[in-house]
Amino acid sequence: MRVRSVLAAGAAALVTLTAAACGSGDAGGGEATSAGPVKLQFLSLAWQKESIAANKELVETWNKANPTIQVEYVQGSWDNVNDQLVTSFEGGEAPDVIHDDSPALSGFASRGYLLDLKDKLPAELKGDIPQAAWDTVTFSDGKDGQGVYGVPFLQESQVIIANKKLLDEADVRVPTAEEPWTWDEFAEITRKLTKPGKRFGVAWPMKSPVNKVLNLSLNFGGTFFQTDAAGKSTVKVGPEERQVLQRIHDQLHKDKSADPSALGMGTADPLPGFFDGKYALLPAGVFLRQQVVEQAPEGFEWVTIPPLKGTSAEQGAVSQTLSVAAQSKHPDEAVKFISFFLNGPNQVKLAKGDWLLPTSTSAAKDSSINAEKDGWDVATASAKNLVVAPFLKVNGYDEWRTKVATPALQQYFANKITLDAAAKTLVEEGNKVLERYSS
């Protein structure tokens, strides 16, 4: 998911909700007690203007309806949020309700920072979110069972944003969710769209390459990790894991249909070149559609291309989540707030604000996120391809990603090391990292 930093949590504000509100579109009710209202802090990492507005609106709705449980909205950012959360956990000052993403939860759960929500959530909320999404937030409870350490509410799939005019000029088939492009067809199309000295078929922004590569590698069954019966995880880079790595490398250095200068870019950085016709295709998360809508010049025609297919079109699912800090003095009230905040109608508002996919099955049926306009139909249909990303279950993944995999993949895509060398580093150095987490 997108890169992250949290602003220091400020003073708390006030919240409450009746049990009936937990799964409905209403925020509930309540009366203030003589002791005063319960005060909760809600750390939100919403960053797009529409998303921040949607989050604040829901908090305001809650607070008006619930005078005995009041929530303070604390604005954070995705950059370094997890390091800063560790500091707040260890200092005993963690927010009650925490917005993060599922890759971070395993480590926090293993250290006892998060409340196990398994038996605390209302049936209506649990039933509205499919098991595949719950699997992204379910980890070992450190004993003999599994705990649920967050409520998954937004997910991201990888699609392709395409210059429609250039596709039409090259007589390229616009795929559908039922008949997507295969990776082989994608390679052929990028070659066809490339005009040396004028235009590249595709730009691969790889400033943060790991999650993109690992999620797409599931197209060929590539998992990058294996876990034995004792729960010990090790890194593997076999034929399945090499598929996407090799194909992207071929576009960059064999076919020369991908622009090497885009490798150091973040996801949105190639947009000016895309609008100018320098790139015909941009592989990206579905959220990039929002920036295309905002920034595209008048008359620019673009289309959302469904996820690519290898042996399957499966991709790893990473969820945005809301969790409750284990040290919260008001865990029951925090759960009530989350249950209201993430009901079906509210997930529609949050998904539209962030241009992502709701986990709620009722929200996913909403007409506003199934319309052709701005590629919502393609984006929403892509949710069916999402499966649990194997790395979510790996303790130590975050360190492996930042210290081992990111530099290794960047060097490989820049053609500074071979695929064999990259694979050796990912496995050997990666297993040293994971070993420290298994002891």
How far apart, in whole angstroms, are the C-alpha atoms of residue 423 and residue 128? 40
Amino acid at 170: A
At 104 the pLDDT is: 86
How far apart, in whole angstroms, are the C-alpha atoms of residue 279 and residue 193? 9
The more confidently predicted of residues 49 and 281 is 281
Q: How many CB atoms lie within 10 A of CB 326?
A: 17
- Under the banding of pLDDT at 50, 70 and 90, the label for residue 6 is very low
Helix segments in 376-418, DSSP class H: 376-381, 397-399, 406-413
How far apart, in whole angstroms, are the C-alpha atoms of residue 317 and residue 315? 6
Amino acid at 9: A
The more confidently predicted of residues 318 and 29 is 318
**345-387 confidence digits (pLDDT tens):** 999 999 999 999 999 999 999 999 999 999 999 999 999 999 9
**What is the average pLDDT across 258-286?**
97
SS3 14: strand
Percentage of residues in the chain with pLDDT exceeding 90? 80
Domains of the chain: 4-155+318-361 (3.40.190.10), 158-316+392-438 (3.40.190.10)
Q: What is the pTM of this model?
A: 0.85
Residue 3, pLDDT > 60, answer: no
How far apart, in whole angstroms, are the C-alpha atoms of residue 286 and residue 177? 14
How far apart, in whole angstroms, are the C-alpha atoms of residue 146 and residue 153? 20
The more confidently predicted of residues 291 and 15 is 291
Judged on CB neighbours under 10 Å (0-12, 13-18, 19+), 298 is exposed
How far apart, in whole angstroms, are the C-alpha atoms of residue 240 and residue 174? 27
**21-77 confidence digits (pLDDT tens):** 334 444 554 444 557 899 999 999 998 889 999 999 999 999 999 999 999 999 998
C-beta separation of 171 from 307 below 8 A: no
C-beta separation of 78 from 2 below 8 A: yes
